[in-house]
Amino acid sequence: MIMTIVNLIILLFVPFLMLGLIKKTKSFWAGRKGPSIFQPLYDFIRLIKKDFVISKTTSVVFNIAPVFAISTVLFAAMFVPLATGSAIISIPVGVIVFSYTLGLGKFMSIVAAMDTGSSFEGMGASREACFTSIVEPAFFILIASVMLLTGNYTFDSLSHIISNAGSYGILITIFAVVVLFIMILTEGSRVPVDDPATHLELTMIHEVMILDNSGSDLAIYSWANGIKMLLISSLIACMVIPHHLPVLMHVLCYLSVLGIVSIAIGTVESGMARIRMSHVFEFIFVMSSLALVVLSLVMARMFGG
Amino acid sequence: MAKWIKVKNNTKINLSDIPGMRIDELREQIIELGKRPIGFFGKDWGFGYVRLFVVLADDANCDLYISSAIFAPNDKSYESITQYVPSFHIFEREFYEQFGIEPLHHPWLKPVRQNQDKYPFFEMEGEEVHQVAVGPIHAGVIEPGHFRFMCNGETVYHLEIMLGYQHRGVEDMMMKNPSNQLAESINGDSAIAYSIAYSQAIETLKGFEISNKAQLIRKAALEMERMAIQIGDMGAIAGDIAYLMGAAVFGATRTLVINTMLEFSGSRFGRGLVTVGGVNYDFKEETIQKALETFDKVGKDVDRMAKTMLKNSTVMSRLEKTGTVSMEKARDIGLVGMAAKASGVELDTRFDFPDKWMSELGITRKPFKGSGDVNSRFKLRYKEVKESLSMIKKIFNKLKDYKDEPIIVDGVNNNYASDAMVVSLSEGWRGEIVHIVMTDINRKISRYKIKDPSFNNWYGLALAVRNNGVSDFPLCNKSFNLSYSGNDL
């Protein structure tokens, strides 16, 4: 019970801290002081208190989409091992439910963006749909390979890579972490795929889809996006934290992994420019190729000499 | 009678010396001469007559050619010049809008500043073709302008730019109540260049010359303005491609430059510095020393950051081959200033129409090899910052020789020359700023014509984004950084 409460608190509040830490890291590289690490949380509280404006051209789809956005990520979170190292629901088909629940949320936000009838949001929606469709197979190849290796069909299999595959396991873990990191950048709409700080509608992907949302709707969208980043980071944490640690140790390790991921995102964002839109595919395809490398390593381990 | 009168920059011309002819003859003359238009404007000539003045620039020989044509009250159209010389397109559109005399067979006869509600957009049809309309109100704190993209998927086939939201009737205001304050506010980011162009024109018409010291101070201020804006724009380009470090460093460096301007003139943008008769503020020795130290740091910072940035592969992949305007196109449509230089067309009034200081200070033109893409425009800015820095140092050095000269000379209360005209060019950071002032026999200003470089260059932006991704438009736009208010007047 206490574990669930700890997990829940971390799930709901740490995303803001991650976003704050990314901003802080970016400010550090830019030689600035930067806003407080709690600023995203303050923004959330400010926005959630506000009323929202709804465009006359929208229908009911637009109104219910934010609810889908937040409920789908929270539902998906139940299948992911969080701070204490175990998921609330640990069932063999968990990964598929996880992916397609997130997919449903994304579908709803795409449909809601189209619902506004704005040409910007249409463009954003088509970009988002396009990139997601490339992320999905890479993610499945990765997780399926790991499951094949460990013989465990839940997300827990991620934490058994090293114990199952020895030195191969270390290689697999490294590649898998890179794949998941690129997934965070893509799904979390970060540089080099997207630029969360831009004000230029024509170049946006995620931001432009929620251009018509304001007040509490906007707050919910950014919250859901933060939670999504946290969930994928949790998969990384799952892989790199040795299991059977004492619970407290595990929670601490988990939080530090989230911190490292945030700092890494901030550093990547500071050090490179955004990729040209037509080249983003190539960047995301790196995920697929690395996932295939993982698959071949698994094959080598299982059937090799 | 000669067909053209040949004059220099900033010289008084008697209106009676300007040849007048029929428009058909003038068109033949323009085609034959083959020079670049910098002025093409009408003036109400009384009793329903309209006189069309044409000013052409011969950049190689620092000459200006002026001629005119007269339209009788019932002449409501003429064969357009644009058919033969494309660079006249925007000038003829403006003339049509202001005087209602239609250039026949003009390929692109659209409003320049008026009639926003029924603008004849170019239409494309097809299953995957879609239009994206942006503005006139934009997400950033920028001026208003409407952009309409005809896209196929993510690719822009055509961009139409509709301006005029900032039209304030500046030419009329300048005619009735000319002042430096007004000239400075025509285009806020070129306040000094505008103020210089205005002051030079008025000084010529009033027939007096300012002191050497004031000339040098103006020159230094103009270069400081250029440097500040170019550094700021380098930062803005970095910001648009989400290259955080560039945006941060260039942004901070620009502040150093404009703060130096603040110490010299009390305004970060140099407002109130230039005045008719000279300058209002002396550049003091200790401030100059401090400024030189600051500029050393500026030079180093810009150098280091620009080099780091140009070495970054992700940055280069965004800048290279984005938004290209070829040299032929740039020449055909008559781009000027920075946009032209980046495409390899060397137009710079500082060197094309040099004042005495250019040779005295030993400043020579260093040609820029550009391919007309965003990368070229970025590198050109970097080059201009370096050049401005070395020019400023030379000017500051020279200033010591004229320590005891006054900064402002008397002559402001002179009368204007009667029935005269003057063409005054000054090189703002965007390119040539043209002020043409005419007086009547009552020694009053009877026509004030302004041409901002943006007036020529907006069409260049439309060409630059063709066949580029729609998401690259902001980057192309920022690399040109054209002025809305300078175009709309």
A138-148, pLDDT tens digit by residue? 999 999 999 99
CATH number, domain containing residue B338: 1.10.645.10
CB contact B85 to A (< 8 Å): no
Asked whether residue B404 is assigned to any structural domain, the reply reads yes
- Smallest CA–CA separation between A276 and chain B, in Å? 6
The per-residue pLDDT for range A187-236, each reduced to its tens digit, is 998 989 888 888 888 888 888 899 889 999 999 999 999 999 999 999 99
Q: Hey, is the C-beta of A269 within 8 angstroms of any chain B C-beta?
A: yes
Domain limit, last residue, from B58, B82, B104: B104
Q: How close B476 comes to chain A (CA, Å)?
A: 12
Tokens of B322: 């984005």
Q: What percent of chain A has pLDDT over 70?
A: 100
- Whether B288 maps to a domain, the answer reads yes
**Alpha helices per DSSP H over A30-118:** 39-48, 60-77, 94-115
Question: Could you tell me if residue B401 is inside a domain?
Answer: yes
pLDDT tens digits, residue range B192-217?
A: 999 999 999 999 998 888 999 899 99
Q: Residue B119: exposed, middle, or buried by beta-carbon count in 10 A (0-12, 13-18, 19+)?
A: middle
- Lowest-confidence region among B68-77, B384-393, B409-418: B409-418
Q: Say whether both B198 and B87 belong to one domain.
A: no
**Looking at beta carbons, which residues of chain A come within 8 Å of B479?**
none
Look up the domain containing B31 and give its range: 5-104
Residues of A in contact with B238 (CB under 8 A): 273
Residues 250-269 of B with CB under 8 A from A: 252
- Beta-strand pair B63-71/B50-58: antiparallel
Q: Are residues B100 and B175 in the same domain?
A: no
CB contact under 8 A, A30 and B244: yes
Give the HSE-up count for residue A30: Cα atoms under 13 Å, Cβ half-sphere: 29
d(CA B308, CA B423): 43
Comparing CB atoms, the residue among A272, A273, A276 nearest residue B472 is: A276
Q: Is the pLDDT of residue A305 over 70?
A: no
Q: Say which of B154, B244, B314 has its CB closest to residue A275.
A: B314
Q: What is the mean pLDDT of residues A153-177?
A: 87
pLDDT in tens, A226-284: 999 999 999 999 999 987 888 899 999 999 999 999 999 999 999 888 898 889 989 99
Query: Nearest 10 degrees: CA dihedral of B426, B427, B429, B431?
Result: 110
Residues B80-116: pLDDT tens digits?
Answer: 999 999 999 999 999 999 999 999 999 988 888 887 7
Do B270 and B348 sit in the same domain of this protein?
A: yes
Enumerate the residues of chain B whose CB falls inside 8 A of the CB of residue A30. Answer: 244-245, 247-248
Does residue B113 lie within any of the structural domains?
no
Classify residue B152 as exposed, middle or buried by CB count within 10 Å of its CB (0-12, 13-18, 19+): middle
Domain boundaries, chain A: 2-303
Cis peptide before A192 (omega within 30 of 0): yes
Residue B322's identity, in one-letter code, is T
Predicted local confidence at residue B1, as pLDDT: 63
Give the residue from chain A lying closest to B150, CA to CA. Answer: A119
- Are B220 and B347 within one domain? yes
Q: Are residues B185 and B46 in the same domain?
A: no
B243 lies within 8 A of chain A by CB? yes
Contact residues, chain B, for A122 at CB < 8 Å: 130
CB contact under 8 A, A202 and B315: no
Check whether residue B382 and residue B480 sit in a common domain.
Answer: yes
Q: Could you give phi then psi for residue B78, rounded to 5 degrees?
A: -155, 160
B222-241 pLDDT per residue, tens:
999 999 999 999 999 999 99
pLDDT tops 70 at residue B417: yes
Concatenated DSSP letters for A198-227?
A: ---GGG-SHHHHTTT--HHHHHHHHHHHHH
What pLDDT shows up at residue A185? 93
Say whether residue B132 is in contact with chain A using an 8 A CB cutoff.
Answer: yes
From chain A, pick out residues whose CB is under 8 angstroms from the CB of B140: 199-200
Among the partner-chain residues A122, A198, A276, the one whose CB lies closest to the CB of B469 is: A276
Mean per-residue pLDDT over chain B, rounded: 90
Q: How many residues does chain B have?
A: 489
Task: Give, rounded to a whole angstrom, the gap between the first and last alpha carbons of chain A.
Answer: 46
For residue B314, list chain A residues with Cβ-Cβ distance below 8 A. Answer: 192, 272-275
Determine the residue of chain B that is closest to A201 in CA distance: B139
**What Rg do the C-alpha atoms of chain B give, in angstroms?**
22
Per-residue burial over A238-265, b if 16 or more Cβ lie within 10 Å, else e, is: bbbbeeeeeeeebbebbeebbeebbbbb
Contact check, Cβ <8 Å, A203/B312:
no
Whether A190 and chain B come into contact, CB under 8 Å, resolves to: no
pLDDT in tens, B139-190: 777 889 899 999 988 899 999 999 889 899 999 999 999 999 999 999 989 9
- Count CA within 13 A, CB hemisphere, residue B225: 30
Residue type, B12: K
Q: For residue B320, which of B373, B247, B246, B380 has the smallest C-alpha distance?
A: B373
* End-to-end Cα distance, chain B: 36
Q: Does A276 touch chain B (CB under 8 A)?
A: yes
Q: Taking CB atoms and an 8 Å cut-off, how many pairs form between chains A and B?
A: 84
- Domain boundary (B104, B119, B151) is at B104
Q: Which helix H or strand E contains B375, and what residues bound it?
A: helix B374-399
**Assigned domain for B397 exists:** yes
**Rounded percentage of chain B residues whose pLDDT exceeds 90:** 58
Residues of B whose CB is below 8 A from A197: 242
Residues of B in contact with A201 (CB under 8 A): 134, 139
Q: Say how far apart CA B398 and CA B212 lie, in whole Å.
A: 10
- Assess whether B62 and B177 both reside in one domain: no
Instruction: Give the span between the Cα atoms of A8 and A14, in whole angstroms.
Output: 10
Within a domain: residue B127? no
Question: CA-CA distance, B289 to B395, in Å (whole number)?
Answer: 13
Is B451 within 8 Å of B434 (Cβ atoms)?
Answer: yes
Residue B306: the pLDDT is 93
Q: Which residues have CB under 8 Å from A104's CB, separation 6+?
A: A68, A72
The CATH number linked to B52 is: 3.30.460.80
Classify residue B90: in a domain, yes or no.
Answer: yes
- Whether the Cβ atoms of residue B144 and residue B134 lie closer than 8 Å to each other: no
CA–CA distance from A100 to each of A79, A175, B266 (Å)? Answer: 12, 24, 62
Which of residues B82, B104, B126 is at a domain's end?
A: B104
Q: Are B245 and A29 in contact (CB under 8 A)?
A: yes
pLDDT confidence of residue A160: 86
Q: Using one digit for the tens of pLDDT, what is the confidence trace for B440-474?
A: 999 999 999 999 999 999 999 999 999 999 989 99
The partner residue sitting opposite A279, judged by closest CB among B241, B315, B317, is B317
- Whether residues B71 and B214 fall in one domain: no
Candidate from B241, B248, B314 with C-beta closest to A31: B248
Asked, for residue B344, whether it belongs to a domain, the answer is yes
What integer pLDDT is reported at residue A10 of this predicted model?
A: 93
Residues B91 and B225 grouped into a single domain: no
Kindly state whether residues B91 and B177 are assigned to the same domain: no
Of the partner residues B154, B245, B472, the one whose CB lies closest to the CB of residue A29: B245
* B128 interface with A at CB cutoff 8 Å: no
